[in-house]
Amino acid sequence: MHYNTQNIIDGISSIKTLTSTDVNKAYWVLNDTPFLVEFNEEITYADISSLQAGWHMISTSDIEDLSSLSVKSIWSYKDSKWYAYSNTINMKSYDIELLESVFEYDGVWVYVE
């Protein structure tokens, strides 16, 4: 099933122009052309070990050894495909590419039990 994204957006009257952001909130932005976002605050990275149970969308510093993390799974979407890492689930058996590391400025979804 394919959706015309522009028709969906045009049909939702509650969508507002994003003029500011809040700390500890994640945002998805749909735009037709590349753009620059400038932050006035110092950027800090999530400490994965301090996350509460549930899903989190975060950016963090480089992590080369994902097995050292105490999380259920980490997901990333790059180049039109999903990558994931889990200590307990074989992602290859679900035809999902293995996420081998996380780099600075990468946005990832983390699930903590």
Give the residue-averaged pLDDT of 34-62: 73
Give the model's pLDDT for residue 83. Answer: 92
pLDDT band for position 5 (cuts 50, 70, 90):
low
What mean pLDDT, rounded, does the chain reach? 76
Residue 96, class by beta-carbon neighbours within 10 Å (0-12 exposed, 13-18 middle, 19+ buried)?
Answer: middle
| pLDDT beyond 70 at 58 | yes
- In this prediction the pTM is 0.62
Provide DSSP, 54-73: EEEEEE-S-BS-GGGS--SE
Distance (Å, rounded) from C-alpha 46 to C-alpha 50?
8
The reported pLDDT for the residue numbered 10 is: 56
